[in-house]
Structure 1
């Protein structure tokens, strides 16, 4: 077996995402993780496309971030449930990313999010070289680190300041500004993928909820339906006005006929 100390000499110079395991073989911890990640990714895409018109960014969903060489290699990775890195290519040499390898790319994520399945101890563990909180703060360095607890309907957000995570206070709307992205992060109570839960969601800086593609399509459908109803109402009003004018014309015609029958020629 190759020792941890020999890994850096056996692989020249360091392994990349194609040479490292893309999974540690563990199951997803709860069914909600997958739809929650999709919800975050789907709704923030329009923002990221504006920030990166060249398309140079990537999003990881339960994807390993390799931060040191170990034996086995996957012990040297942390896999946030969701993270975003700006100014990096979405593909590497035309291949889909299997992991994010810090010693190959150097750029830290702007934000990493963990979805708590237990009591949150793992996500707040500050044990040097082992604890998630310590690894994110001291090595991976995402500018923002969020701990989302669906059972508590809450999220804690930390901001990296001078190399230390500081708890970010909520704004007047009860949400957390992620200023580099121009968005806010918070809890939304509602139904998504047939589940009524306190979901983690984005809002813009003005407090407007960022919608998913399906929600945007539904909003457009409702707008089109309202426009159709407005046009139909306008058509009905026009038809009523036409009928009223026709009735008025017929009354005038009858009056003229009556006057002529009496020998009176009306002035028209």
Structure 2
């Protein structure tokens, strides 16, 4: 791994062409980032979009649409004014993702080669509009020095399991931020989608409402049972009075 280059991070950033997101791409990145910060616990990690990776002395930054780095030190915030430089973080990212929005990104050429040289464990390519003419979702795993394609498909509800990061990815048709569309989602090994903070809050609200409805039903059932018990007592009392009027002791019947 190369040592820190002889130019400042700001100079390095200036060498990188700024990529402009579409509205859909920006939402997709928020969805993947939000759901992971909401759902992934128990290990330090960093997931961000459009963060420059500074990897080789004298070379410009490479800025994937999404970058995930696991098990990084808690002091990463001290580098908040810097890009993700490999010598400061001590490792390459574990996963990078490119979301295809034009046909000029060279995601299967130059970008794939760069991430391969960086030894990023997984390279994920999401092409929701199939602009490259292939499948919507493709995943590559680093084996030795080269990437091998481990998945490619257009199917909904079919997850990819990425063993080295302990996460899955799947295509999902649904609503995010009031917009219905085809989205890429994180999932667990059983294919259960990792929720966003909003989805988790909505589910908790529905669970609470269902609990309250169930409690109301139980209370209503108890009230009805008490009412039946009271009616039975009154009926037994009237029967006892009628028997006594006939000279019959109801306690001996």
State the Cα distance separating 1:266 from its structure 2 match: 2.0
- RMSD of the alignment, in Å? 2.9
The aligned residue for residue 14 of structure 1 is: 6
Task: Report if the CA contact (8 A) 2:137-2:152 is conserved.
Answer: no
Q: Residue 186 of structure 2 aligns with which residue? A: 202
1:165 aligned partner: 147
Give the aligned partner of residue 94 of structure 2.
110
Contact 1:90 1:96 in 2 (8 A): no
Residues 182-219 of structure 1, C-alpha deviation per residue, up to 9 Å, x if partnerless? Answer: 22112111110111111111111122111111111111
Q: Structure 1 stretches of 5 or more lacking a match?
A: 1-7, 126-130
**Contact residue 65 and residue 99 of structure 1 kept, 8 A:** yes
Where 1:77 maps in the other structure, the secondary structure is coil
User: Which residue is 2:235 aligned to?
Assistant: 251
Please give the secondary structure, in 2, of the residue aligned with 1:198: strand
Alpha-carbon shift at residue 170 of structure 1 (Å) = 6.1
Q: Does 2:120 align with 1:136?
A: no
Structure 2 equivalent of residue 66 of structure 1: 54
CA, structure 1 residues 239+109, in 2 after alignment: closer, same or farther (shift >3 Å)? same
Choose from 138, 147, 168 the match for 1:184: 168
Q: Deviations over 1:33-91 (max 9, x none)?
A: 222122112222356432x2xx3x32221111122344xxxx61111111111232365
Q: CA contact under 8 A between 2:38 and 2:195: conserved in structure 1?
A: no
1:91–1:97: 8 Å Cα contact kept in structure 2? no
Aligned length: 245
* Structure 2 Cα separation of the partners of residues 97 and 161 of structure 1: 33
More divergent stretch after superposition (110-119 vs 166-175): 166-175
Partner of 1:3: none
Q: Unaligned stretches of 5+ in structure 2?
A: none
Q: 2:121 touches 2:164 (CA, 8 Å); kept in 1?
A: no
Change (3 A) 1:111 1:220: same
CA distance in 1: counterparts of 2:104 and 2:159, whole angstroms: 20
Contact 2:173 2:181 survives alignment (8 Å): yes
The structural deviation recorded for 1:14 is: 3.5
**SS of corresponding position for 1:83:** strand
In 1, distance between residues paired with 2:40 and 2:15? 27
Could you say if the C-alpha distance between residues 42 and 211 of structure 1 is closer, same or farther in structure 2, counting changes exceeding 3 Å? same
Give, in whole Å, the separation in 2 of the partners of 1:225 and 1:47: 23
Structure-1-length-normalised TM-score: 0.80
Which residue of structure 2 aligns with residue 33 of structure 1?
25
Note the C-alpha offset of 1:267. Answer: 1.5
Moved more, 257-266 or 214-223: 257-266
Q: Distance in 2 between matches of 1:13 and 1:169?
A: 36
Using a 3 Å threshold, how does the CA distance of structure 1 residues 177 and 114 change in structure 2: closer, same or farther? same
Q: 1:241 corresponds to which residue?
A: 225
Query: How far off is 1:163 after superposition?
Result: 0.8
